[in-house]
Amino acid sequence: MFLLLVLGVVIGVAYIYREIIVKGKKCTSKTKLHGKTVIVTGSNTGIGKTTAIDLAKRGARVILACRSKQRGEAALEEISRVSGSSQVVFMQLDLGSLKSVRSFAENFLKSEPRLDILINNAGVHMQGRTEDGLGLMFGVNHVGHFLLTNLLLERLKECGPSRVVNVSSTAHNFGKIDFDCLNTHKALGLGTSFMEVLQYYSDSKLCNVLFTHELAKRLQGTKVTCYSLHPGAINSELSRSQSSVLKFFLKPITVYFFKNTEQGCQTTLHCALQDGIEHLSGHYFSNCTVREVYDKAKDDAVAKKLWELSERLCGLA
């Protein structure tokens, strides 16, 4: 009898946890986006794709900025079909190539007269090097988006009020910025163990929050605002680089205790669409709510130093 009672309590707690914590809040904005243009990076899969579907349903012209032409065009077909929109466009963007980022921005600025929302959603969780010799997670998760944002800022200013949304992670709380390693190796770290790679991922997510903090300061006096966010623990393809054995054992946990992609895109949508949060530019959100961050994630000196290093690495300085 006691065991049954304990089992009942465990099941009840797990159910409540899933319903309240895992599923989380929903974006309540009813904003329509007819005549507006949005870029979503990494929108061929995961929360990027569900974000794009929602924005397309709201009437936006949605630019799917993805590395793989094949997967991007397949996503274009699916998003157009599901949303019923004819205003979805695929444009190739490899964030691991500064040349590709510049080419994307040039093509976009030539062909599209507006940009109202830029959602820097794409991310990787694996070691390696970019085409330009940067650490893969530093290059894709931060530097590529840093360059993209800067190249498109004038268009965002012209179309204001407009927004930049940077998808970070609660993992940023465990991040650190090793400037000695960045200056010497152009990477957040050189290790390859599971824990080391997880650390560098956390470091790259801290870069996202610091970038947003510094960007907001530089955007003061304009009609462009910016936000970083934690989407939640997502059962998506970000972990596709993990071993099949690890994924097999984690699957029961991820299916029950992680958000699906629709639940996972809600805070992104909140930051992109919610009225009345303009005064919170530069802040960090989780579960559709603004959150306080540790001092290291709003350190003015570190944010400025990271900005200046990023400028040098991508040729903006």
pLDDT tens for 181-199 read 999 999 999 999 999 999 9
Question: What is the Cα–Cα distance from 295 to 46, expressed in whole angstroms?
Answer: 31
What average pLDDT does the segment 208-215 reach? 98
Q: What is the pLDDT of residues 6-36, one digit of tens each?
A: 565 545 544 454 445 566 799 999 999 999 9
> What is the pLDDT at residue 176?
98
Q: Using the predicted structure, report yes or no on whether residue 3 has a pLDDT greater than 90.
A: no
Say which residues have a Cβ less than 8 Å from residue 11's Cβ, sequence separation at least 6: none
Ranges of each domain in the chain: 32-232+267-312
**Spatial separation of the C-alpha atoms in residues 162 and 185, rounded to whole Å:** 36
In this predicted structure, what is the pLDDT of residue 32? 98
**Of 222, 221, 214, whose CA–CA distance to 308 is shortest?**
214
Question: 58-75: string of b/e by CB count within 10 Å (b at 16+)?
Answer: bbbbbbbbbbeeeebeeb
**Residue 243 binned pLDDT confidence (cut-offs 50, 70, 90):** low
Q: What dihedral do alpha carbons 106, 110, 116, 122 form, nearest 10°?
A: -30
pLDDT of 234 reads 72
Which pLDDT belongs to residue 18?
45
pLDDT surpassing 70 at residue 253: no
Read off the pLDDT of residues 120-170 as tens digits, 9 standing for 90 and up.
Answer: 999 999 999 999 999 999 999 999 999 999 999 999 999 999 999 999 999
Residues 170-174 have a mean pLDDT of 97
88-92 β-sheet, strand order = 88-92, 61-66, 37-41, 117-120, 162-167, 224-230, 284-286, 289-291
Q: How far apart are CA 30 and CA 230, in angstroms?
A: 22
The distance of Cα 125 from the centroid of its chain, to the nearest Å, equals: 13
Please determine, looking at this structure, whether the domain spanning 32-232+267-312 carries the CATH number 3.40.50.720: yes
Range 99-123 average pLDDT: 98
pLDDT reported for residue 246: 57
- Report the sign of the C-alpha dihedral through residues 77, 83, 89, 95, in that order: negative
Examine the pLDDT at 221 and tell me if it is beyond 90: yes
Backbone angles phi, psi at 279, to 5 degrees: -70, -10
Q: Are strands 284-286 and 37-41 parallel, antiparallel or unpaired?
A: unpaired
Residue 112 sits at φ, ψ, to 5 deg, of: -120, 120
> CA dist 226 to 120, 211, 219, 222, 272, Å?
11, 10, 9, 11, 9
**pLDDT at residue 2 in the model:** 60
Type of residue at 279: H
pLDDT, tens digit, for every residue of 31-83?
999 999 999 999 999 999 999 999 999 999 999 999 999 999 999 999 999 99
Name the nearest CA neighbour of 108 among 165, 65, 139. 65
pLDDT surpasses 90 at 245: no
Beta strands per DSSP E along the chain: 37-41, 61-66, 88-92, 117-120, 162-167, 224-230, 284-286, 289-291
Q: Residue 90 above 80 pLDDT?
A: yes
Measured between alpha carbons, how far is 149 from 140 in angstroms, rounded to an integer?
13
* pLDDT tens-digit series, residues 273-303: 999 999 999 999 999 999 999 999 999 999 9
Residue 218 clears pLDDT 50, i.e. is over it:
yes
Catalytically active residues, by annotation: 201
Amino acid residing at 175: G
Instruction: Place 233 in a pLDDT band, splitting at 50, 70 and 90.
Output: confident
268 contact partners, CB below 8 Å, separation of at least 6: 47, 51, 119, 121, 165, 167, 229, 231
Question: Using CA atoms in the order 16, 22, 28, 32, what is the torsion angle rounded to 10 degrees?
Answer: -150
Lowest mean pLDDT among 37-41, 111-115, 250-254, 294-298: 250-254
Tokens of 162: 């407009």
**How far apart (Å, rounded) are the C-alpha atoms in residues 300 and 217?**
10
Closest CA to 307 of 201, 224, 208, 227: 208
